[in-house]
Each structure stands twice: as C-alpha cells, then as structure tokens.
Amino acid sequence: MTDEFSASQAEVLIGATEKMIEIWNRLSPEKQAALLARFGTEENALAALVTTQLVAPAKS
C-alpha cells in the first residue's frame, strides 16, 4: 500500500468531503450537537460522515 493518492482517488475523496460538508450544514443544530457529543470535534464528525459515505455510498 502506498501513502499517496492517485488523481482519481483524490477526486473521490474531495467529492465525498464536499458532499458531507453540505450535509453537515443542512443538519439541525440538535443533530450537529449529537454528532459533536459522539465524535468530539466537527472534524471528527465530518471524518465519520465521509468514511460512512465512502464505505456505503448513499443512493441518489
């Protein structure tokens, strides 16, 4: 395994991250607070959302 991303892998990761930020911004303050309580920081909560998206992408 390499420590570098290919261009296509980077595009997938960036796209998923942008989608998760959009979803985060649409979450109610209560849901954001619940995620923050569980994961500690917004960065960790976003990382969890991104990981979930990459592991089991939502159907559009």
What the block records as the tokens of 16 is 């998923």
Number of domains the chain contains: 1
Asked whether residue 45 is domain-assigned, the answer is yes
Asked whether residue 58 is domain-assigned, the answer is no
Q: What is the pLDDT of residue 58?
A: 57
How far does CA 36 lie from the centroid of its chain? 13
Q: Which helix (H) or strand (E) holds 48?
A: helix 42-55
Tens digits of pLDDT across the chain (60 residues): 567 879 998 898 888 888 888 888 998 999 999 999 999 998 899 888 777 776 776 555
What length is written for the chain? 60
**Domain interval for residue 38:** 15-52
What the block records as the tokens of 45 is 């909560």
Q: What is the pLDDT of residue 50?
A: 74
Helix, strand, coil: what percent of the chain each, to 5? Answer: 75, 0, 25
Asked whether residue 23 is domain-assigned, the answer is yes
Asked whether residue 32 is domain-assigned, the answer is yes
